[in-house]
Amino acid sequence: MDPKLVIPHREPFLYITDVTEIVEMTSGYGYLDLSGDEWFFKGHFPSRPTMPGVLMVEALAQLGAYVVLSDEKYAGKLPLFGGIDKARFRRQVVPGDRLNLEVSLTKMGSKGGTGSGVATVNGKVACETQMFFVLVSQ
């Protein structure tokens, strides 16, 4: 499912290639394919291109936004970060990798919610985090 049909993010700040599954207001699955041409690899780091951890967290948040905005009662809203907890980065993500994304919503209300996410490459955890978000009008 094309993320551009649901979330407002666009290049160069769109960090989901495809959404493969959502379970209504519960969880979502997707991935980001990294070609090596992404803007951040040029400077992070020229001798050893590595995806910044904060962008892995952003990819998970974008997938979470997709899950939330897929529900019509949140149409016209924009999920914004309210906080990031317990973020851990376990392995490097490099050009050519497919970053598999999984998010779970743990609490949801009319003004925001919480969730958690795990990003993996070849079955190995690259990033895991808990997130808090608020919903605002677009």
The closest alpha carbon to 59, from 131, 108, 110, belongs to 131
Residue 40 — pLDDT band, cuts 50, 70, 90?
very high
* pTM of the predicted structure, to 2 decimals: 0.97
Q: Is the pLDDT of residue 93 over 90?
A: yes
Domain segments of the chain: what residues?
A: 3-137
Mean of pLDDT over the chain: 96
Among residues 9, 44, 90, 91, the one annotated as catalytic is: 44
User: If you average pLDDT over residues 119-130, what whole number do you get?
Assistant: 98
CATH topology of domain 3-137: Thiol Ester Dehydrase; Chain A (3.10.129)
pLDDT at 75 over 90: no
For the question of residue 9 being annotated catalytic, the response is: no
